[in-house]
Amino acid sequence: MEEKTLNEKESLELIARMIQTTRKNMEIGQGNLLLYFGYFAAVLGVVIYICIRLTGNGNFAMLWMLMFVCWLVVHRISKKPEVITYTDSAIASVWKVIGVMFCLTAISLPIISMLDSGVLSVLMMPMSLFYMGIGTAITGVIIKDKVTTYLPLLGMLIPLYMLNSIMHHLFFYWWHLLFSLASVIIFVIPGHIINSKRGAA
């Protein structure tokens, strides 16, 4: 098969199309995913706080497991891009690793807490926020968006506070509201920023 050599103009047009495809996939697709998870986590945190406040039953914190249900639903309804770029694959790989870390933490912490009373399963909350922040920040680096890169780092101050409190054996049920706030900072705001660039693409 004869190979066709692209001239300079054709090469630039090809690169431009690839960049446009990547930006469309990232700004629309990834932005929507951040909004799905961000809003769901924010609302769920408020619901859990209200349930615990009204009943005094801390077991309502188990409702956070609904985040895995949210992931399954979003995975099913999400439309795959017609053209998958290297950037698409890179971001997908990042979130696959983050997802595995979520699952391993959710499984291991309860087991470890039963074997060692010094390890609290409540660590799942700050650890989750760290994973969320890291994933979003790396996404921002890949798509070259400074706000998406650095804003999650601000949101990660919340789990730092939580960890410091846990070290002093302190835990408050209103932390669920803090989780909601962190979700807005780490997921919702970057998601809207990414989607807002759709018109500028």
pTM of the model: 0.81
Report pLDDT for 1: 44
Tokens of 65: 């497991």
110 band by pLDDT with thresholds 50, 70 and 90: confident
Q: Which of 165, 162, 92, 153 lies closest to 127, judged by CA?
A: 162
Of 83, 97, 197, 185, nearest in space to 138 by CA:
97
Residues 52, 56, 58, CA angle at the centre, nearest 5°? 60
Question: What residues contact 146, with CB distance under 8 A and at least 6 apart?
Answer: 140
Residue 156, exposed/middle/buried by CB under 10 A (0-12, 13-18, 19+)? buried
For the chain, the domains span 11-77+86-190
Sign of the CA dihedral 166, 124, 94, 44?
Answer: negative
- 38-94 pLDDT, tens digit per residue, is 999 999 999 999 999 999 998 898 899 899 888 888 877 776 666 667 777 888 899
Of 26-30, 118-122, 147-151, 166-170, where does the model show the most confidence? 147-151
Using a pLDDT cut of 90, give the percent of the chain over it.
40
Which pLDDT tens digit goes with each residue over 158-179? 999 999 998 888 888 899 999 9
Give the pLDDT score at 15.
56
Q: What is the pLDDT of residue 117?
A: 63
